[in-house]
Structure 1
Amino acid sequence: MHKSDLVEAVADTADLPKDKANDVVSAILDEITNALSREDTVSLIGFGSFSQRHRAARTGRSPKTGETIEIPASNSVGFKPGKALKDAVN
């Protein structure tokens, strides 16, 4: 499912015009992004939780040359599914 498919589903479910549904979906995604950039956790009860995770710097190997390289520290997004989502998938 792509964003456009999600917008269509929201428009149909909520009986909204597609441009309003697009605004709603974009606002939700923007707020999740903003919260994660502030290192807040976003919890959607029954669906799951998004959180920022830190990856420490480490040493790796270049697959092309086999040379040792330094991989810098970075942040990534983690997702932990809620019970209702796990049950629906299984």
Structure 2
Amino acid sequence: MNKSEMIDAIAERTDLSKASSAKALDAVIETIVDAVAQGEAVTLVGFGSFKASARAAREGKNPKTGDKIQIPETVVPKFAAGATFKAKVAGKA
């Protein structure tokens, strides 16, 4: 499912227009991204949680030349699925 298909599904389930559904989806995504970028965790009970996680510096290898390179420490987004989401995907709900 891509974004436009998601917007169509939201519009159908909520009786909102496609334009309103697109605005709502964009607002949800922006809010989650902004909160995680500021270091906050976002938890949607039953769906999952989003958070920022530090990835330690490490040594890597340039696949083209085989030379060793240093990969700096960075912060990456992480998502952990909630119990209801996991159960639905596993066919248990």
What is the TM-score of this pair, normalised by structure 1? 0.96
Q: Which residue of 1 aligns with 2:37?
A: 37
| Residue identity opposite 1:65 in structure 2 | T
Q: Which residue of 2 aligns with 1:22?
A: 22
Q: Which residue of 2 aligns with 1:72?
A: 72
How far the C-alpha of 1:49 sits from its partner, in A, is 0.5
Aligned length: 90
Displaced runs of 4 or more, over 4 A: none
Q: Which residue of 2 aligns with 1:10?
A: 10
Task: Report 1:49-64 matches (<5 A).
Answer: 49-64=49-64
Which runs of 5 or more structure 1 residues have no equivalent in the other structure? none
Percent of pairs with identical residues: 38
SS at match of 2:46: coil
How far the C-alpha of 1:27 sits from its partner, in A, is 0.2
Q: Deviations over 1:12-39 (max 9, x none)?
A: 1000110010000000000000000110
SS at match of 1:35: helix
What is the TM-score of this pair, normalised by structure 2? 0.93
Q: Which residue of 2 aligns with 1:46?
A: 46
